Amino acid sequence: MLRTPSGGAGSGTAAADSGLMSIGAVLNALRDEFPEVTISKIRFLESEGLIEPRRTPSGYRKFSADDVERLGHVLRMQRDHYLPLKVIREHLDALERGEPVRLPSLGRQRDGGEGESVEPDAPAAVRVGRSELLAAAEIGEQELQEWESYGLIAPLAEGTYDSEAVTVAALVVELGRFGIEPRHLRAMKAAAERDAGLVDQVVAPLRRHRNPQTRAHAEARTKELAGLTVRLHAALVQTALGVRLP
């Protein structure tokens, strides 16, 4: 936490308070690296004991530079390592005690057969096992089976899961905190499949082309259309609800 400068108690407190940030300022500070972070996400992490901002007499949260740094560390571990909050909390506590710690990492596999060389900076495909997915989402086997029965999550051919499955699991858990059950999300799944079908119709001719460069262009076009589709969906939901997300 910020240190209180030497001097009178009143001046020291005022000086310390002047270096604190509101939750909105924290959101703006994090947005470049974490564009999807929201105020509700920050409040949730506080409720889980990951951060402990100060409170003004009127109840407003005030964050120090150390709080913001810790919050960024938490978000980074969620994003890059898919760790459950319990593991993140234990990791941070160990760091504060000065203990040498090493983050557990999920299995990463690169495309290519055994013995095949891969460029060091080639993109790695994240693959997680079933037990790792259960740990990352902090759910049980029965819950995962239910989600799979609704088509919300599906394993790959080899029985593992990709990084998007981890993201979906985390979002299903967060929606569940508001009383939205997995069975309620089947309509979202169906809408997503319709959107994917529309994009596929556009890029399918490019994928079938004999020219390798044209087929590579199909991949880039798919990503571009997927991004536009997600943005449009978000805008339509906000319009229907009459709200605007930060």
Q: Looking at 180, 203, 225, which one is the last position of a domain?
A: 180
CB 91 within 8 A of CB 73: no
113 falls in which pLDDT band (50, 70, 90)? very low
pLDDT at 102: 66
What is the pLDDT confidence band of residue 53, given thresholds at 50, 70 and 90? Answer: very high
pLDDT digits (tens, 9 = 90+) for 155-168: 988 888 887 888 88
> Does some domain include residue 105?
no
Q: Which two tokens stand for residue 139?
A: 């759910």
Please state, in angstroms and rounded to a whole number, the distance separating the CA atoms of residues 99 and 88: 14
217, 168: one domain: no
Q: Check: CB of residue 216 under 8 Å from CB of residue 206.
A: no
Asked if the structure places residue 114 within a domain, the reply is no
Does residue 93 or residue 9 have the better pLDDT? 93
Q: What are phi and psi of 165, to 5 degrees?
A: -65, -35
Domain that holds residue 76: 18-96
Query: What contacts 223, CB < 8 A, 6 or more positions away?
Result: none
Q: Are residues 153 and 186 in the same domain?
A: no
Instruction: Give the amino acid at 237.
Output: V
Tokens of 50: 């990951």
For tokens 């509101």, what's the residue? 22
Shared-domain flag, residues 188 and 238: yes
| Residue 9 maps to a domain | no
Residues 210-237: what's their mean pLDDT?
85
Does residue 169 share a domain with residue 197? Answer: no
Quick check: is 209 in a domain?
yes
Confidence of residue 178 (pLDDT cuts 50, 70, 90): confident
Whether pLDDT at 144 is above 70: yes
36 and 73 fall within a common domain: yes
Counting the structural domains of the chain, the total is 3
Q: 189 and 169 in one domain? A: no
Q: Does 203 reside within a domain?
A: yes
Q: Give domain status of residue 110, yes or no.
A: no
Structural domain contains residue 101: no
Considering the domain architecture, whether residues 141 and 171 belong to the same structural domain is answered as: yes
- Tell whether 171 and 213 lie within a shared domain: no
90 and 63 in a common domain: yes
Is it the case that residue 97 has pLDDT exceeding 60? yes
CATH number at residue 74: 1.10.1660.10
1 lies in some domain: no
Same domain, 156 and 199: no
* Same domain for 27 and 92: yes
Band (153; pLDDT cuts 50, 70, 90):
very high
> Which residues does 19 contact at the CB level (< 8 Å), separation at least 6?
2, 64, 65
Residues 216 and 148 in one domain: no
What is the average per-residue pLDDT within 140-150? Answer: 91
